[in-house]
Amino acid sequence: MICVGIDWADKAHSVCVLDAEGNKLAAFDVAHSQQGFEKAHSTIAKYAPSIDQVGVAIETKDSLLVDFLSEVGYTLYFLNPRQTDRFRDRHRMSHSKTDSFDAYVLADALRTDQRLFNSLSPLDEQSLSLRVLSRARKNLVQRKVAIQNELTSALKRYFPVALELFNDLDSQGAIDFLLQYPTYQQARTVSSTRIAAILTKGGFRKDAAAKRAETVKQKLGEPQPIPSANVATVFPVAVKSLLRQLKDALREIRDIEAQIKVAHRDHPNKDLIDSLPGVAEILGPVIAGELGAEVTRYANLRTLRAYAGTSPVTVSSGKYCAVHFRRACNQHLRRALHLAAQTAIRESVWARKLYDRLRAAGKSYGRALRAVADQLIEMLYVMLIRRTPYDEDYHLRMQALHGKT
């Protein structure tokens, strides 16, 4: 077998090629370009009778280089940088480090310890689409929350009653009203009819808009603290800017959610994942995108649990033994499973019993919730292998049969 190590970077990549005995066959650099990728492939091909006899070790899964190597057909092994750091210590005691040396370390680690690494096939196109779109949605939601926090802080400074006028600042009616009347002096002069018209245009039902308009008018009629002239002049400018940003963020979220819905509709695991307790409309696409269509990408359940971050890390030496939170994992998948577990303990009998039992035993909220998430990923693994949806009654019967009630 030919072992290839690639130390990747943004503009250039160092490549090292070793044979089965550890002899260095080639060491070279290639540019981060199509010509560079093709040069790497043609050079490796000189020493390998076929692509099936080549293993490539690299520290990233998200790169155009990885896409190219996957399309060509190479078997890829993704090493954690911390693993590479440990393997580097086998060759040098000093802290010296070069890109070419790291490429050699990666290739040699694959040559001597291939059994320690799992080759992970690239994501299928549908799952990749869901992953990118779901992560983009998550970033947009975080941006929206940040804008709302800024908006709340600004309104507290000069127009605090505005925070009491609407249930949510991110509703279209609230945004439209505050864009037109960003100060207390302006807002208090508006009639109930005008307020109701703005709210109706913003998506409120007519009866709900009329009722809310009366509440808004009443609130605005109460005496309010008056800010200084300078504050009353400057802050509305900032607030209107934030409102426009919030409006744009909400539109982007709606657009990307529509794309997620389309991409998720034809995913081969949609119905199986959606049948799992606690998996809502938003979490289904996230889990599908992070896992991929083929569960056989993971060597076994243990590998998947570690990838999902639900299994703990045990540190034991002599009389010392401690169980720690797993940090090296897919953070997006872990978060989705964490949220699914929160819902599952409200919807499923077994989830509630497991959670309550662990809490009664003195476990923390997070630890108990991770145990539920761990059970969810285990069930999902079996469901994907067998291609059968979740059945609550069947699961409870199996628990009773194995004495886990």
Segment 373-386 mean pLDDT: 94
Average pLDDT over residues 90-104: 84
- Tokens linked to 302: 């243990």
- Domains, the chain: 2-122 (3.30.420.40), 127-263 (1.10.287), 272-401 (no CATH)
Is a pLDDT exceeding 80 seen at residue 399? no
Over residues 168-184, mean pLDDT: 92
Q: What is the pLDDT of residue 157?
A: 94
Q: Would you give the DSSP letter of residue 114?
A: G
Mean pLDDT, the chain, integer: 90
pLDDT per residue as tens digits for the range 85-94: 888 888 877 7
Give 267's contacts (C-beta < 8 A, 6+ positions apart): 126, 127, 130, 285, 288, 293
Q: Residue 154 above 60 pLDDT?
A: yes
CB 178 within 8 A of CB 162: yes
Q: What is the mean pLDDT of residues 244-267?
A: 95
Residue carrying the six token digits 């939170």:
325
**Residue 61, token pair as written in the block:** 């899964």
* Least trusted range by pLDDT, from 8-17, 22-31, 317-326, 377-386: 317-326
Alpha helices in 159-228 (DSSP H): 162-165, 172-180, 184-187, 192-201, 206-220
Residue 369 has pLDDT above 90, yes or no: yes
Phi, psi angle pair for 55, to nearest 5°: -115, 135
pLDDT at 177: 94
Other beta carbons within 10 Å of 125: 10
- Give the range among 178-192, 240-254, 318-332 with minimum mean pLDDT: 318-332
Tell me: the pLDDT tens digits for 275-289?
Answer: 999 997 889 999 999
Q: Average pLDDT, stretch 17-43?
A: 94
pLDDT digits 0-9 by tens, 113-149 = 988 887 766 778 899 899 999 999 999 999 999 999 9
pLDDT of the residue at 322: 83
Amino acid at residue number 98: T
Q: What is the mean pLDDT of residues 263-269?
A: 94
pLDDT at residue 25, as a whole number? 95
The C-alpha atoms of residue 338 and residue 361 are separated, in whole angstroms, by 20
334-338, 378-382, 393-397, range with the lowest pLDDT: 393-397
Rounded Cα distance between 285 and 274, Å, is 9
Look at residue 335 and give its three-state secondary structure. helix
7 bridge partner residues: 14
Q: Which residues of 52-79 are buried (b: 16+ CB within 10 A; e: fewer)?
A: eebbbbbbeeebebbebbbebebbbbbb
| pLDDT confidence tier of residue 323, bands split at 50, 70 and 90 | confident
- The residues, ordered by sequence, that sit 6+ positions from 212 with a Cβ below 8 Å of its Cβ are 166, 173, 195, 196, 199, 204
Write down the pLDDT at residue 120: 65
3-state class of 166 per DSSP? coil
Alpha-carbon distance 335 to 398, whole Å?
28
pLDDT digits (tens, 9 = 90+) for 57-89: 998 887 899 889 988 888 899 888 888 888 888
| pTM as predicted | 0.81
Asked whether residue 402 carries a pLDDT value surpassing 80, the answer given is no
- Please count the CA atoms within 13 angstroms of the CA of 67 that sit on its side-chain side: 9
Check residue 392 and give its pLDDT: 86
Work out the angle at residue 186's Cα, subtended by the Cα atoms of residues 184 and 187, and round it to the nearest 5 degrees. 65
Q: Are 71 and 53 in contact (CB under 8 A)?
A: no
Are 293 and 267 a contacting pair, CB within 8 Å? yes
Which residue's entry shows tokens 């019993």? Answer: 353
Which residue, among 179, 174, 232, has the nearest Cα to 202 in the 3D structure? 174
Q: Give residue 376's pLDDT.
A: 95
